[in-house]
Amino acid sequence: MGKNQYTSNVESGFTKTEIKHWVELFFGVKVVAVNSHRLPGKGRRMGPILGHTMHYRRMIITLQLGILFHFHFKN
């Protein structure tokens, strides 16, 4: 995203203040705002049994201007 915003999917039990605290602690950046919305789980079917996947929360994290956020995840 633009405007120093980054998105991430997290478990639905996390709050905005927890996410802000952990991002500032682990990555050493200043978080200006945290927005979130809950995404519904998808429907799944296995034969006659109907079910669904777990829902999750998408966080949109806005960092202070002028801060570059570099991260790399290895598989």
**Structure tokens given for 5:** 């915003």
Residue 24 forms part of a structural domain: yes
User: Would residue 17 count as lying in a domain?
Assistant: yes
CATH code for the domain of 14: 3.30.70.330
State pLDDT tens for residues 15-62. 899 999 998 998 888 999 999 888 877 888 888 888 877 778 888 989
Closest CA relative to residue 8, chosen from 29, 25, 23: 23
Residue 73 resides in a domain? no
Residue 25: count other Cβ atoms within 10 Å of its Cβ: 9
Q: Looking at per-residue confidence, does 21 or 2 come out higher?
A: 21
In which band, very low, low, confident or very high, does the pLDDT at 75 lie, cut at 50, 70 and 90?
very low
User: pTM for this one?
Assistant: 0.68
Q: Is residue 20 part of a domain?
A: yes
